[in-house]
Amino acid sequence: MPKPRVVATRKFPADVEARLAANFDALLNPDDRLYDAPGLARAAAGCQGVLCAAGDALGAQAIEALPASVRMIATFSVGYEHVDVAAAARRGIKVSNTPDVLTDATADIAMLCLLGAARRAHEGTTMLRAHAWVGWAPTQLMGVHVTGKRLGILGMGRIGQATADRARAFRMTIHYSNRTRLAPALEKGATFHADPEAMLAHCDFLSIHAPLTPATRKWLNAARLTRLPKGAVVVNTARGGVVDDEALIAALKSGHLAAAGLDVFDGEPKLHAGYYGLENAFLLPHMGSATLETRNAMGFRALDNLEAFLLRNATPPDLVSPPS
């Protein structure tokens, strides 16, 4: 019996591609070329599965263009806003994601962004690489102290909790807002705010870990930024669209915010041009999950789903449901 055919939209880690090729008739993408909707439809001809990744444009139009043979889309990501799940459901196409495997790696990057922004790491490395450092000075690159400060976390899921655990090592006081309050064992003494706006006044640092939904799009806007204490630091490792870029840039320019540490951007890879000239913006290119161990785990989780459905006719363990 022939193996089901699966098209990979991107170049994936070697161990992931090896397992994909072992269990499926795999159409790989060694040049990592980006598919548009017509190109993906052509590449998926005769395929039963699509292994995609964050950033792939799998909106309604692209899904409608997929050949009738496609039965499943497995995304190499936790977030799945790039896949129109409702459009896939109308076609009878299953969609899965990769939860639970990038918590620690993303929490590590959140702390890197927090520390990098607070301690002016971008300015320091730029000074060195430009051969502009003339030696230590008493007032040089004075940043924001981290130890003992208040950290507010918007979205206290697995990554938010892991970030809080790391912040406690810096003796930070944790405040959080979440759709539901955590059990005391998970809360670990953190202060819960049912209203996220009420939390903002208690945030020397604000770390965003909320998903991108219609309710959270541009949630951190100009009005909410003014509720943060002057000199606060904003960190975002969740989704760029949760932040109003114009408002954040204005707050950084005005000095209301001391700094921001950002690993994600609205419309990435085309981030708002206003960020480039800001010395108090510590910017990373969506590196949250970028460790070999994590990317392999993501790929293996995606393959677990494809193998369950296409090889064993079982329900994918990480099946994503269309919006109700």
Between the alpha carbon of residue 199 and those of residues 110, 142, 156, 241, the distances in Å are 19, 27, 13, 20
Torsion of CA 155, 156, 161, 164, to 10 degrees: 70
CA angle 84, 294, 288 (to 5 degrees): 70
Helix axes 292-306, 103-118, angle to 10 degrees: 140
Cα gap 15→18, rounded to integer Å = 5
Helix (H, G, I), strand (E, B) or coil at 251: helix
**Which 8-state DSSP code applies to residue 33?**
P
Query: Which of 64, 81, 187, 268 is the catalytic position?
Result: 268
Query: Which of 120, 239, 295, 301 is the catalytic position?
Result: 239
Cα gap 59→53, rounded to integer Å = 13
Instruction: Identify whether 17 is a catalytic site residue.
Output: no
Q: 161: part of which helix (H) or strand (E)?
A: helix 158-168
Instruction: Identify whether 122 is a catalytic site residue.
Output: no
Cα gap 200→192, rounded to integer Å = 12
Torsion of CA 191, 196, 199, 204, to 10 degrees: 110
* 45 close to 65: Cβ distance less than 8 angstroms: no
Instruction: Identify whether 272 is a catalytic site residue.
Output: no
Cα gap 165→143, rounded to integer Å = 23
* 166 close to 179: Cβ distance less than 8 angstroms: no
Q: 114: part of which helix (H) or strand (E)?
A: helix 103-118
Contacts of 291 (CB under 8 A, 6+ apart): 105
Query: Which of 286, 295, 301, 307 is the catalytic position?
Result: 286
Q: Which residues are catalytic, by number?
A: 239, 268, 286
